[in-house]
Structure 1
Amino acid sequence: MNIGIIGTGNMGTILVEAMIDGKAISPSSVIITNRTKAKAMLLKNKYKNIRIAANAVEVAAESDLIFICVKPLQIFKLLDQINPYLSEKKCLISITSPVSTSQIEKKVSCSIVRVIPSITNRALSGVSLTTYGENCSDHWRTEVEKLIAKISVPVSIDEKITRVASDIVSCGPAFFSYLLQSFINAAVKETEIDEETATIFASEMVVGLGELLKQGHYTLPSLQEKVCVKGGITGEGIKVLENEMGNMFEHVFQATHAKFKEDLHKVEVQFSNH
């Protein structure tokens, strides 16, 4: 099976690296293209047997399974370009949340899947959010599920929770990296610890926390209860978090959903006007 990747920006690159390192695909089965050829060459330099195509049309023509890893408002025009090369035997995967499988199905006749990945997939972990098009064949449902399972836990989601699921799975690592960096910066500012040491401690703490949850030793509430001894130091820190966080995360979800609504409208205008 030949795998095509249109767009080797951050997520396109992460998918290629994860799938190859996770032994889901071989480099020789991969054909990639990107508007900035230098980005495609970075992957070619790392995996010598990857092929670089001149454009998206060449990728679509030579691939059985095609990943579209471009921005939402670039998809409509791209579909027009590659549609003549998308037979019913092929499958197209979009990784962007504002474009639905039903919108893509109205323009092309191949099987359609939406897979929203996470940067955690680069470590062959975390979740990938999957939505199968109404006309997606059983063959491609099975093949895509097997492929994605090599780099993550594939979870099929309902359309109505697409944004919040993406916020948690895909945006979540960036949100919590920001919080962790703020945690480290505050430790350096308020105490005598240096940034390098604080970063090592905080990073290892997060890895350990993940393992505790993954191995099922604690739930989030029970873990907090175990560490937070009544009248102790941790409790004093929790009090500050409770007082100062307020509705911060509610505001985060409000902001992401407002932007998502804006993107949905722009995409809808594109697809409904043609």
Structure 2
Amino acid sequence: MNVGFIGTGSMGSILIESFLRSGALLPENITASNRSHWKAERLSEMYPGLCAAKSNAEVIAESEIVFLCVKPGEYKPVIDEIGAIVQPSHILVSITSPVLVRHLEELLPCKIAKVVPSITNYVCSGATLCVYGSRIGSADRELLERLFRHMSEPIEIEEDYTRVASDLSSCGPAFLAFFIQQFIHAAVAETGIPKIDAERLASEMTLGTGKLLTSGKFTPDALRERVSVPGGITAEGIRLMDQELHGMFDRLIQTTHKKYREDIEKVETMFFSTRVD
């Protein structure tokens, strides 16, 4: 199976490295391009056998599955470049949430899927969100999910829930890291504990908590109740957080959804502004 990548930026390179490190793909299975060609060449130097293509058209010609790993504003130029050579048999996988499946199905003749990865995939963990277009058959779906199972838990979602699912799965690591970072800073400032010790303790706590929540034995509610003894120190801390954070997560979801809607509008304007009804 030959797999192509158009775009080798942050998420594109994470996907490539995750597939290689997990054994899902070999370097010789991969053809990659980037508008800054040296970035693709750097990957080919790191992973001998990986082909650094000189054009996006070369990626299409050499691949059965093509991951489109560019920013929303770069989609239209790429589609204009590859539209005439994409075949119905190709599977094009978009990893950009504001670009909807219907946008791509209207412009390209191939099979379309949308996959939202997470930085946690880099350590072969976390979820990969999967949305399938109308041309994706059961065999195509199994092919993609078998590929992603090497480095994640592929979870099919409805496209209407892409944003909130991404908040939890893909943005969540950054949100959680921010919380942990603030926790560490406060611990150091208030007590003088060495930062390196606080970081180690917080990191090990995060790892252990994740294992508890994914082991099937604890839900978040059950874990909180198990640790928080009524009248104890943990319960007092939770009481404070409940007061201070009241409504904050609602506003967080509202903020990400507002930005998502704005991004979709920009994509639709970019793709279809010249259409004549």
> What is the RMSD of the two structures over their aligned residues, measured on CA atoms?
1.3
Instruction: Supply the AA of the counterpart residue of 2:147.
Output: L
Q: Distance in 2 between matches of 1:200 and 1:36?
A: 38
Q: Distance in 2 between matches of 1:159 and 1:53?
A: 31
Q: After alignment, is 36-45 or 215-224 more displaced?
A: 36-45
Tell me the alpha carbon deviations over residues 119-164 of structure 1, each in whole angstroms, 9 at most, x when there is no partner: 1111111111111111123432221121112221111111211111
Secondary structure at the counterpart of residue 151 of structure 1 = coil
Match of 1:262 in 2: 262
TM-score calculated relative to the size of structure 2 = 0.95
Q: Distance in 2 between matches of 1:84 and 1:216?
A: 48
Between the two proteins, what is the percent identity of the paired residues?
43
TM-score calculated relative to the size of structure 1 = 0.96
Instruction: Supply the AA of the counterpart residue of 2:12.
Output: G
Match of 2:176 in 1: 176
Tell me the alpha carbon deviations over residues 41-75 of structure 1, each in whole angstroms, 9 at most, x when there is no partner: 34223211111011212111211110000011211
Match of 1:215 in 2: 215
Q: Distance in 2 between matches of 1:191 and 1:36?
A: 48
Match of 2:107 in 1: 107
Q: Distance in 1 between matches of 2:42 and 2:171?
A: 25
Secondary structure at the counterpart of residue 134 of structure 2 = coil
Unaligned 5+ segments in structure 1 are none
Contact map agreement 1:95 1:114 (CA 8 A) in 2: yes
Tell me the alpha carbon deviations over residues 66-119 of structure 1, each in whole angstroms, 9 at most, x when there is no partner: 000001121122111011221112110000111111110111111111111111
Alignment of 1:85-234 (within 5 A): 85-234=85-234
Tell me the alpha carbon deviations over residues 187-225 of structure 1, each in whole angstroms, 9 at most, x when there is no partner: 000002011110000000000111111212322111111
Q: Distance in 1 between matches of 2:242 and 2:41?
A: 48
Contact map agreement 1:7 1:32 (CA 8 A) in 2: yes
Match of 2:25 in 1: 25
Contact map agreement 1:102 1:134 (CA 8 A) in 2: no
Secondary structure at the counterpart of residue 89 of structure 2 = coil
Instruction: Supply the AA of the counterpart residue of 1:136.
Output: I
Unaligned 5+ segments in structure 2 are none
Tell me the alpha carbon deviations over residues 25-44 of structure 1, each in whole angstroms, 9 at most, x when there is no partner: 11111011112234323422
